[in-house]
Amino acid sequence: MALFEPTANEDELRANLDLLQETREIAHIKEYAVKTRVARKYDRRVVYRDFQEGDLVLRKATLGAEKNKLTPKWEGLLRIAEK
């Protein structure tokens, strides 16, 4: 039968706490790596557009008083006045 030793128990709790902190740091590093990888994959599919003065464009519609599935999502054609 093992007896309870407060000093040994305290040492074990501190060691467990140190291991827990190390595990958290490893998880944080892995999370950052995954988020970076996902962001790079997303950014590869983004099409950057460079508009010039005088181009006709559509603008995302600002939500008015009423929003439903028939509300237009874009408004325009608008001409770019200045860059």
What is the 3-state secondary structure of 43-58? HHHCCCCCCCCCCEEE
What average pLDDT is seen over the chain?
A: 89
Task: Tell me whether the omega of the peptide bond preceding residue 77 falls within 30 degrees of 0, making it cis.
Answer: yes
Domain spans in the chain, listed from the N-terminal domain onward:
7-48, 49-83
Q: Is the pLDDT of residue 1 over 60?
A: no
- pLDDT classification of 76: cutoffs 50, 70, 90: confident
Query: Is it the case that residue 46 has pLDDT exceeding 60?
Result: yes
pLDDT confidence of residue 52: 93
Task: Give the pLDDT mean for 29-55.
Answer: 95
Give the pLDDT mean for 45-71. Answer: 87
